[in-house]
């Protein structure tokens, strides 16, 4: 323990909004005999420096407890706190209090990385951004390290982190911001699977998110491999300053464009120079059309980093006050004066919708969030599937209910009955509650009054010139000051105590990784054995006659030709319809349909003629469909009905059944095992 004399502060000199000078002590206007512990005092002083307010206090009890738990380094932490509640302080305060110990922050989106770097630069908080191949090693000069989720899964990162820990300072904790991505995006982003592997050495894991429903907590804990005694902090996601409005459903893009323009026009006279507008779209094509009509920029995931930064900073700096965006911009941005959010189209998931409307009103001033429904497609969930993403929840709120919007949102994200607009006078009334209240009073209500627009209208997206001052230059010398004052390193840890707290979970996660590797090896060996059965033979003939038949091209297959004059053409047309989506599938050869499996099953695609088994899988599975008995057995096993080739291809192209990389290969491996075992 650090001597208590090291914590005595000059209570006459309160923290002020200026940088620490060399050798300056951290001073805080708090009584050392008050209810605050010594570490809490220093943590609160850092908080006051960060927000530039000498009288600031914790934004919530959850924020205070979160900082204490992170500094305690005794267990993992899962902090589910609403947007604007100060979750980021859980990472920044410990890093600033402990210059001799390293904190890692893993970020799953480039937009989130950009925003973190902007905020840290504004605060002059020193950090290092590890960029994979661009970064040979960590310099050791900074104790706050940023890394993307994709790079954090690479061996190069793990080696660099281990070297840093050995040569410079202990890495004591790793944060993962927007932790809900582990269960909402892992189906199409392989780097977000098996995130327990992030604990590459004994250290604390801290997961941050503003939107993890209670029903999803177990899945999050399993995904990250958190300790059994993990501290879970949950604050309500209720945002009283948000005015939630749902508009009548529109059937086409033209009507959508008109409605969006009306909304913007109705607010145009009330917007202040610092106010911004975000318009979220579910489809890129719709967004591009909106951007063209509104003469503004669009932010989308497929853009390169330079283009994303250009669009983002033009919006931040007020060159354009409106930005169209996909869900690639749905998390992390903390610009304080987003005054209007418009969802131009039905959101696909409640989780994404909550994150996106949470960009509004970060300054605690009223903000308006519009939802303009369009697509009414009913979500398809598997039997007993937990709705982690809230696909059914957002559809029910939009189309199947006339109840309070605020209640639907908070009921999904916080559990229980949710918070209604009428439960507190400080709540902005949602459009549905406003209508209900006025009907109860015998009054009619027009929730929005719009300025009439005749003909095409151009909305100005340019603001008057304005200068944006950085938040402060408070920390340009703080890091060096703390390093030169060992007594200020409030939470020194012995490596042995850190190891004791997290060694057990580290070993558990390591064992899980080994088992996964074994499962992967077993899958590859099973696949190789199955393919070897068709070495030099025709898979279609083999399945139907069970006799070996020398290999011949599908175009000359006698078994296939026996089904009719068009059978070969029908097969070729069917095969062309086999598709793989980045949402569901990893790398699979589109010619032979063999999964790549990190080049262990199929080497990187080298063009036509590079496949060892060009016609085996597709031919075998198509022959399954042609054989009524085998088809019926397969339908019973997979609990589906393929009434037509179109229904069959739709199922094959869909989300793979558990344990397989595609439904095509699932059928292939299952039938090979059944028939040839």
- Tens of pLDDT, residues 357-411: 989 998 889 999 999 998 778 887 777 788 899 999 999 999 998 899 999 999 9
Residue 527 falls inside a structural domain: no
Residues 274 and 362 in one domain: yes
What was the pLDDT predicted at 73? 92
Rounded CA separation 622/603 (Å): 25
Q: Of 102-106, 526-530, 551-555, which gets the smallest average pLDDT?
A: 551-555
Domain region containing 283: 242-440
pLDDT band at residue 496 using 50, 70 and 90 as cut-offs: low
Residues 482 and 538 in one domain: no
Q: How many domains does the chain have?
A: 3
3-state secondary structure of 448: coil
Measure the CA–CA gap between 365 and 276, rounded to whole angstroms: 13
Query: What is the 8-class DSSP label of residue 229?
Result: T
Burial 6-23 (b: 16+ CB within 10 A, else e): ebebeeeeebeeebbeee
DSSP state of 239: -
Q: Which one is predicted more confidently, 132 or 202?
A: 202
Helix (H, G, I), strand (E, B) or coil at 128: strand
How much is the mean pLDDT over the chain? 81
CB 332, CB 268: distance < 8 Å: no
In this structure, the strands spanning 144-148 and 102-107 are parallel
Indicate whether 481 and 565 sit together in one domain: no
350 in a domain, yes or no? yes
The domain that contains 139 carries what CATH number?
A: 3.40.50.300
Backbone phi, psi, residue 487, to 5°: -65, -20
pLDDT category at 86 given cuts 50, 70, 90 is confident
pLDDT at site 27: 38
Gap between the Cα atoms of 610 and 591, Å rounded: 10
Res 157: pLDDT: 92
Which of 167-171, 187-191, 404-408 bottoms out in mean pLDDT, i.e. has the lowest?
A: 187-191
Residue 458 lies in a domain: no
What 3-state DSSP class applies to 540?
helix
**Is residue 250 located within the same domain as residue 352?**
yes
Torsion sign over Cα 635, 640, 643, 645: negative
CA-based end-to-end distance of the chain = 65
Residue 236 has what DSSP assignment?
A: -
> CB of 102 within 8 A of CB of 143?
yes
Cβ neighbour number for residue 149 with a 10 Å cutoff: 23
Q: Whole-prediction pTM value?
A: 0.69
In a domain, 35, yes or no: yes
67 and 197 belong to one structural domain: yes
Sign of the CA dihedral with 180 first, then 183, 187, and 193 last? positive
Does 248 lie in the same domain as 231?
A: no
Calpha distance 677→668 (Å, rounded): 13
Shortest CA distance to 223 belongs to which of 383, 357, 388? 388
**334 and 429 belong to one structural domain:** yes
Q: Do the domain assignments include residue 26?
A: yes
274 with 293, same domain: the answer is yes
Domain annotation covers residue 201: yes
Q: Are residues 139 and 77 in the same domain?
A: yes
Same-domain status, 120 and 61: yes
Place of tokens 């409605």: 259
For residue 164 the two structure tokens come to 């840093």
Burial class from Cβ neighbours inside 10 Å (0-12, 13-18, 19+) for residue 269 reads exposed
3-state DSSP assignment of residue 380: coil
Q: How far apart are CA 405 and CA 403, in angstroms?
A: 6
Mean pLDDT of 103-127: 91
- Say if residues 123 and 101 touch (Cβ distance below 8 Å): no
What is the DSSP code string of 610-668?
--SSSSHHHHHHHHHHHSHHHHHHHHHHHT----SHHHHHHHHHSPPPTT-S-HHHHHH
Scanning 533-612, the segments in alpha helix (DSSP H) are 539-545, 558-561, 567-576
Are 303 and 354 found together in one domain?
yes
Confidence band of 303 (pLDDT split at 50, 70, 90) = confident
Asked if the structure places residue 178 within a domain, the reply is yes
In this predicted structure, what is the pLDDT of residue 609?
64
Q: Do residues 655 and 187 lie in contact, with contact meaning Cβ atoms separated by under 8 Å? A: yes
Instruction: Check whether residue 167 and residue 316 sit in a common domain.
Output: no
Query: Is pLDDT larger for residue 420 or for residue 586?
Result: 420
Spatial contact of 296 and 320, defined as CB atoms under 8 Å apart? yes
Question: How many residues can be counted in the chain?
Answer: 677
| Among 481, 511, 541, residue at a domain's last position | 511
133 versus 471: the higher-pLDDT residue is 133
Residue 649 inside a domain? The answer is: yes
Alpha-carbon gap, residue 117 to 475, rounded angstroms:
14
pLDDT of residue 180: 92
Residue 175 has pLDDT above 60, yes or no: yes
Q: How confident is the model over 637-651, as a mean pLDDT?
A: 88
Task: Give the pLDDT score at 451.
Answer: 33
């Amino acid at each position: 323990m650090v001597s208590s004399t090291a914590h005595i502060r000059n209570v006459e000199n309160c923290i002020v909004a200026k940088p620490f000078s060399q050798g300056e002590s951290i001073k805080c206007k708090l009584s050392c005999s008050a209810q605050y512990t010594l570490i809490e005092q220093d943590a609160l002083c850092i908080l006051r420096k960060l927000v530039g307010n000498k009288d600031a206090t914790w934004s919530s009890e959850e924020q205070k407890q979160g900082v204490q738990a992170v500094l305690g380094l005794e267990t993992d932490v899962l902090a589910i706190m609403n947007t604007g509640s100060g979750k980021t302080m859980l990472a920044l305060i410990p890093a600033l209090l402990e210059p001799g110990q390293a904190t890692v922050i893993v970020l799953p989106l480039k937009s989130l990385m950009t925003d973190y770097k902007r905020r840290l630069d504004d605060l002059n908080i020193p950090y290092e951004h590890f960029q994979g191949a661009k970064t040979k090693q960590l310099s050791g000069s900074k104790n706050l390290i940023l890394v993307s989720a994709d790079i954090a899964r690479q061996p190069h990162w793990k080696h660099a982190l281990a070297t840093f820990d050995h040569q410079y300072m202990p890495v004591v904790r790793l944060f993962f911001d927007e932790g809900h991505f582990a269960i909402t995006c892992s189906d199409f982003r392989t780097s977000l699977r098996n995130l327990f592997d992030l604990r590459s050495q004994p250290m604390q894991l801290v997961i941050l998110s503003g939107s993890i429903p209670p029903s999803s907590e177990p899945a999050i804990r399993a995904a990250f491999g958190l300790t059994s005694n993990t501290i879970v902090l949950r604050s309500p996601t209720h945002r009283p300053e948000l005015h939630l409005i749902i508009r009548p459903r529109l059937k086409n893009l033209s009507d959508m464009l008109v409605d969006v323009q009306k909304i913007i026009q109705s607010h145009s006279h009330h917007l202040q120079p610092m106010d911004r507008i975000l318009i979220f779209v579910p489809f890129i094509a719709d967004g591009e059309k909106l951007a063209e009509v509104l003469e503004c920029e669009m932010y989308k995931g497929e853009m390169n980093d330079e283009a994303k930064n250009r669009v983002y900073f033009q919006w931040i700096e007020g060159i354009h006050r409106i930005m169209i965006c996909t869900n690639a911009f749905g998390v992390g941005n903390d610009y304080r004066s987003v005054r209007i959010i418009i969802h131009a189209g039905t959101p696909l998931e409640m989780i994404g919708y909550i994150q996106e409307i949470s960009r509004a009103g970060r300054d605690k001033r009223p903000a308006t969030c519009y939802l303009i429904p369009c697509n009414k497609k009913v979500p398809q969930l598997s039997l007993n599937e937990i709705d982690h993403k809230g696909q059914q929840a957002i559809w029910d709120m939009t189309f199947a209910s006339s109840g309070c919007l605020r209640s639907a949102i908070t009921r999904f994200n916080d559990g229980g009955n949710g918070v209604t607009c009428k439960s507190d006078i400080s709540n902005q009334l949602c459009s549905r509650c406003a209508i209900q209240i006025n009907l109860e009073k015998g009054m009619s209500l027009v929730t929005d009054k719009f300025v009439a627009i005749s003909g095409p209208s151009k909305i100005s997206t340019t603001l008057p010139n304005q200068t944006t001052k950085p938040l402060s230059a408070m920390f340009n010398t703080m890091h060096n000051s703390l390093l030169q004052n060992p007594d200020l390193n409030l939470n020194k840890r012995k490596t042995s105590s850190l190891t004791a707290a997290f060694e057990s979970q580290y070993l558990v996660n390591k064992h899980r990784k080994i088992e996964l590797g074994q499962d992967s090896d077993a899958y590859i060996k099973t696949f190789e054995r199955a393919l070897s059965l068709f070495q030099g033979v025709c898979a279609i003939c083999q399945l139907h006659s069970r006799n070996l038949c020398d290999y011949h091209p599908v175009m000359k297959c006698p078994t296939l030709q026996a089904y009719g004059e068009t059978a070969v053409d029908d097969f070729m047309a069917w095969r062309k319809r086999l598709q793989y989506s980045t949402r569901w599938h990893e790398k699979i050869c589109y010619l032979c349909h063999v999964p790549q499996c990190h080049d262990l099953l199929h080497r990187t695609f080298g063009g036509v003629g590079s496949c060892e088994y060009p016609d085996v899988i597709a031919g075998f599975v198509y022959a399954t469909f042609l054989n009524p008995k085998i088809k019926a057995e397969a339908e019973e096993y997979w609990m589906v009905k393929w009434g037509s080739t179109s229904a069959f291809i739709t199922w094959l192209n869909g989300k793979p059944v558990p344990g397989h990389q595609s439904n095509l290969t699932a059928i292939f491996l299952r039938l090979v095992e059944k028939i040839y075992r």
